[in-house]
Each structure stands twice: as C-alpha cells, then as structure tokens.
C-alpha cells in the first residue's frame, strides 16, 4: 500500500477516534487531513527518519511544530514511540519565538497607523463599517463575525448572534476559537453610526450578516475568511487590524482598553502582548 494512502488511513482512524472522544473543530479536522495527504513519508517510520525528513522538507519552525503535533498524536494512538519527536518539537521553541519577532518587525514597518484606520473607518458605510468597527473596537476574529441577526435570543445558543435592544446592539458570541475556555461572550455596542449602518442592511429575523447567495450561513471557513478579508480596510484582515490597535493602546498606556480587547476577543493578555504586540519584535528600543 502506498505510504500516502497509509497516512490518510492512519489520520482518518485517529480523527474518528477523537471525534467520538471530544468535540473537534472543523478547521482542526481539515488541517490534519491535509497534513496526512501531503507528508511524503510514512508516519510510522522511525523517529530519527521522521525528524531528518521533516528538517529536509521544512525550514519554518511553526510548520515543523504543526506537523510534529499531528504526527505525535497519530503515533501515540498507534502505540508508537514519540519521545525523540517530542524532544525535537520542544527544541523549536526558541526558533519560533525568534521567527515571531522577525515577522512582527517586518509587519511593523509596513502597517499604517491607527489614525489612518480610524479615518478610513469614518468613510465606510453598510456592512464594511459594521465589520471593521467590530474588529477595531472589540478585536473579534473572523469566526466571531459569522453573526445571525435575531429579534430575540434563542434558548439554545449554538451560533453567534447580533440583535438590537433599544439604542444598543448586542453581540452574543458562542462559536469562536476559545469558546471552551471563555464561554459565551456578550458585547454591548452603543454607537449611533453603528446602529444606523446596521439598520441600513435591512436584516430580517434569522438573516446572516454575511450570507451565502441563497441566504444560508457560510459554513466553509476559507470562503468566510476570504469574504471578511475583502471587507476589511485596505484588505488588512482582522489579524493586522488587531496588531495596529494593540500597538496604539500600548503607546498610550491604555491598559484598561487592552484588557477590554482581551476579554472581547477571548484571548489572554499574555497571548495578546506576545503574539499581537508589534513592539515585541527585535527592536529593543
């Protein structure tokens, strides 16, 4: 049996197992399936062979770590040794930190100021204003913005909802990256222009903020992310917008707003300051 087919089979059996054991995100399943298809060697090879082949194939330490995570899990499931693989994965930590710093430095040189973002936001209308306002002021991820407009929150909340209550807009976020850790996120928006632009969309009860052509919810993550990217200011995407906001808040020492962004995003302050802080590059000044 060809090794690639064997890898697919190994990954498939492992995924079936963890689906039964606990909830697994659609993105995790797709990522592991893609890794199984793309690795050109047998996952059950000897550990030194796997390490050598991974080093030959990939330079980026983040990619190496991603592949190692999946390989280790599949091997454990098949009662294969993983001690050398774990040791190699742990050794990548310093390289990953340096790569992140390098990337933050490069990004910092290219990104616009928050003043530019706010000026651009003021000129937007409709769905573009709504999406960018939420990202800039509350730091939400793409997945959080797959919102369903409702007049009343349902009893069983398994999606993300947006509703008007008086002069306020309420976001009730249940399906997001860290929902298992942080639970339901509730965000209140009291902004007259936001309310005006949301109303201009003429959403009916049960409509999605960003729907498919037939009005249904967009369930494909890649499709939804592409649509969000096209809507963001200068096509920056939510990740870059959040980095611009975090940098500005740190410059102003506005730690209260940083804490608010951390809670709204569902990201710890430690992660926010480590991975979204443009000051966390190589420039010691």
Q: Give the tens place of pLDDT for each residue, 41-54.
A: 889 899 999 999 99
pLDDT score at 1: 39
Q: How far apart are CA 10 and CA 3, in angstroms?
A: 10
User: Mean pLDDT lowest for which of 28-37, 45-54, 140-149, 193-202?
Assistant: 28-37
Highest mean pLDDT, choosing among 2-6, 113-117, 201-205: 201-205
Q: What angle do CA 168, 174, 176 make, to 5 degrees?
A: 110
Q: How far apart are CA 267 and CA 178, in angstroms?
A: 8
Of the two residues 273 and 115, the one the predictor is more confident about is 115
User: 202 — alpha (psi -120 to 50), left (phi > 0) or beta?
Assistant: left
pLDDT at 144 over 70: yes
The DSSP code sequence of 10-33 is: HHHHHHHHHHHHS---HHHHHHHH
pLDDT score at 210: 97
Q: Give the tens place of pLDDT for each residue, 194-206.
A: 999 999 999 999 9
pLDDT score at 98: 62
pLDDT score at 109: 55
């Amino acid at each position: 049996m060809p090794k690639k087919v064997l890898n697919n089979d190994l990954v498939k059996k492992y995924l079936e197992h963890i689906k039964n054991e606990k909830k697994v995100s659609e993105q995790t399943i797709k990522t592991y399936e893609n890794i199984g298809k793309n690795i050109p060697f047998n996952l059950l090879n000897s550990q030194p062979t796997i390490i050598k082949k991974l080093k030959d194939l990939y330079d980026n330490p983040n990619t190496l770590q991603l592949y190692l995570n999946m390989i280790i899990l599949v091997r454990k499931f098949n009662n294969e040794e993983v001690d050398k693989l774990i040791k190699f994965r742990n050794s990548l930590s310093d390289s990953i930190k340096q790569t992140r710093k390098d990337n933050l430095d490069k990004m910092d040189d290219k990104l616009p100021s928050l003043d530019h973002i706010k000026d651009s936001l003021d000129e937007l209308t409709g769905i573009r204003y709504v999406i960018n306002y939420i990202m800039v002021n509350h730091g939400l991820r793409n997945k959080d913005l797959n919102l369903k407009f409702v007049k009343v929150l349902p009893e069983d909340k398994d999606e993300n909802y947006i509703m008007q209550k008086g002069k306020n807009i309420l976001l009730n976020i249940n399906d997001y990256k860290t929902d298992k850790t942080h639970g339901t996120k509730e965000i209140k928006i009291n902004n007259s222009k936001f309310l005006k632009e949301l109303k201009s969309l003429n959403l009916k009860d049960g409509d999605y903020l960003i729907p498919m052509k037939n009005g249904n919810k967009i369930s494909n993550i890649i499709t939804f992310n592409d649509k969000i990217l096209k809507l963001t200011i200068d096509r920056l995407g939510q990740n870059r917008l959040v980095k611009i906001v975090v940098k500005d808040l740190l410059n102003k020492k506005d730690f209260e707003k940083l804490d608010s962004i951390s809670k709204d995003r569902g990201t710890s302050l430690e992660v926010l300051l480590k991975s979204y802080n443009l000051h966390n590059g190589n420039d010691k000044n």
